[in-house]
Amino acid sequence: MPQQKKTWNEKLAACKQWQVKPAPMNIAGMKAGQIMLIPDAELLSAAIRKIPKQSTPTIKQFRLDLAKSKNAEVCCPITTGILLRTIAEAAFESYEAGTDISDLTPIWRLLDESVPTWKKLSFDTDFLVGISQQETQ
């Protein structure tokens, strides 16, 4: 019997715990050996929830602030990108299941068409645009 595919919320719940360690290579502005935060979904979700309404930090600034919060110099861009997508997909999945928008991680405060994750989302991004516009009114 084939294994049933995990939901986005199940994937979110199964994430490993965040850690800090030296960056293994030069990538996305990081230098090998810099102290790097590898975030987890809970840490990212909590940081996203702290973004004020009508505020739109860049991913670069968001990652830097997150790294500093854990005494690191940089934040892993690969893990962050993967988790941002997982958080966005899980939020949409929860919304479709009837969860109130106010109970979702407000991923729309961080993601927009300039972020590579935007193009990877499986749902219509008008959902995020619409919520973002509602917040600014």
- State how far Cα 130 lies from the chain centre: 19
More confident residue, 133 or 50: 50
Return the DSSP state at 38. E
Answer whether residue 1 shows pLDDT above 60.
no
Report how far apart, in Å, the C-alpha atoms of 48 and of each of 5, 44, 68, 108, 112 are: 27, 6, 15, 9, 14
Contact (CB, 8 A) for 83 and 77: no
What pLDDT is recorded for position 15? Answer: 81
What pLDDT is recorded for position 2? Answer: 62
What pLDDT is recorded for position 69? Answer: 96
Domain coordinates in residue numbering, the chain: 8-135
Please name the amino acid found at residue 12: L
Backbone angles phi, psi at 10, to 5 degrees: -70, -40
pLDDT-derived band of residue 94, with 50, 70 and 90 as boundaries? very high
What pLDDT is recorded for position 20? Answer: 96
What pLDDT is recorded for position 131? Answer: 87
pTM over 0.85: yes
Place of tokens 């991004």: 125
What pLDDT is recorded for position 56? Answer: 81
Look at residue 30 and give its three-state secondary structure.
Answer: strand
Q: What is the mean pLDDT of residues 8-21?
A: 89
Give the model confidence (pLDDT) of 33-74 as tens digits. 999 999 999 999 999 999 998 888 899 999 999 999 999 999
Answer whether residue 25 shows pLDDT above 90.
no
Beta strands in 18-103 (DSSP E): 19-22, 35-38, 74-75
